[in-house]
Structure 1
Amino acid sequence: STLSYPLVVLGVIFQALPLIDLGILLFSLVVLFQLVTLPVEFNASRRALNTLESSHILDSNEVSQSGKVLTAAALTYVAALATALLNLLRLIAIRGNRD
């Protein structure tokens, strides 16, 4: 993602659609990576909660509260994916204005 924005900016400045397209392609890979890792993060939170519960490290009230925290942590990845998707749409709109 670090390289995609400069490519889009350079493509806009020099009116080079291939640079914009390359920047969009690179950012699309970032979005794809975030989409693929999303189930992994939810699974990690669920496994952590199961481990805490089965190890009897926490009492039942603490397990419930830990579940809320772990769910909130996993939801940050949903927010990151939504942000990345919106940024991708913005880049595509920028490219569309250059045709």
Structure 2
Amino acid sequence: TLPVELNASNRAMVQLEQGLVPNESLKPAREVLDAAALTYVAATLVAVGQFFRLLSMTNRRR
């Protein structure tokens, strides 16, 4: 889902640059889209961390 979200943010930015918002709003719009994409990065890191935590718990029981 991370590549999909990053691509969606880029596609949204292209549409915004085509005149959907005034030029002075492009930078804030990019910042919001980047922040939205970063939530997916954070969720991915949390999931990987959780996986390794569970893996280490399983290995301790053996």
Q: Which residue of 1 aligns with 2:2?
A: 38
Q: Which residue of 2 aligns with 1:81?
A: 44
Bigger fraction of residues in helix: 2
Q: Which residue of 1 aligns with 2:14?
A: 50
- Give the AA of the match of 1:40: V
Displacement of 1:57 after TM fit? 1.8
Displacement of 1:52 after TM fit? 1.2
| Percentage identity across paired residues of the two chains | 44
Gaps of 5+ in 1: 1-36
Q: What is the TM-score when the length of structure 1 is the normalising length?
A: 0.61
Q: What is the TM-score when the length of structure 2 is the normalising length?
A: 0.94
Higher Rg: 1
CA displacement 1:32-80 (0-9 Å, x = unmatched): xxxxx111100000100110111x1211220111000000000100000
How many positions carry a matched residue from both structures?
62
Displacement of 1:82 after TM fit? 0.3
| C-alpha separation in 2, matches of 1:97 and 1:83 | 21
**TM alignment of 1:1-99, pairs within 5 A:** 37-54=1-18, 56-99=19-62
Runs of 4+ in structure 1 deviating by more than 4 angstroms, as ranges, are: none
Displacement of 1:94 after TM fit? 0.5
